[in-house]
Structure 1
Amino acid sequence: MSHPKSGSWTFLTRSEFRLDTPAAEATSLWDHNVVVMASGMQIGLPTPTARNADPVRLWELPPHSPQRPATTTILRAVRACVERGESR
């Protein structure tokens, strides 16, 4: 999901484990505007058919199945981008 006003993205993942991110890594992720939310936290989702001239959230790729990527897979990709100095 993209958040046009803040320029951020939200990834919906399969939370298969408890996140225990070391403090140094959590700080590094935070410094790159990455926030990992614990399983069960609520976030606002856009409706798939909303047509809004001033959108708050948009689907970049609407979910078509209940399958989600593993949280570890998404974090690995984010870490790789951060290590290369890429922005979101």
Structure 2
Amino acid sequence: MPTISMFYGIIVRMYFAPKEHPPPHFHVYYGEHKATIDIRTCEVIQGNLPKKQTKLVLAWAELHQDELTADWELVMNGEEPFKIQPLQ
């Protein structure tokens, strides 16, 4: 599963198809926590993160929604996603 971004100890990844499934989403890891984020709504759809990290990830997702959507299309075609600028 390629890592597409890392910031403040948060790792953002996307799986390649055919393991993936709708809705378009990405996976977030922070220590022992993990969550799945819907790209279209920028909401946590599975798992959980600490409150601060959730806010950071959702803000980052909103800023990079178009890039995340483009990466989703790539991984659904079995292609390597592009790296996305971390939150600064």
**TM-score interval w.r.t. the shorter chain?**
0.3 to 0.5
Task: Tell me: higher relative CO, structure 1 or 2? Use CA pairs within 8 A at least 6 residues apart.
Answer: 1
- State the TM-score, normalizing by the size of structure 2: 0.32
With normalisation by structure 1, the TM-score equals 0.32
Larger radius of gyration: 1
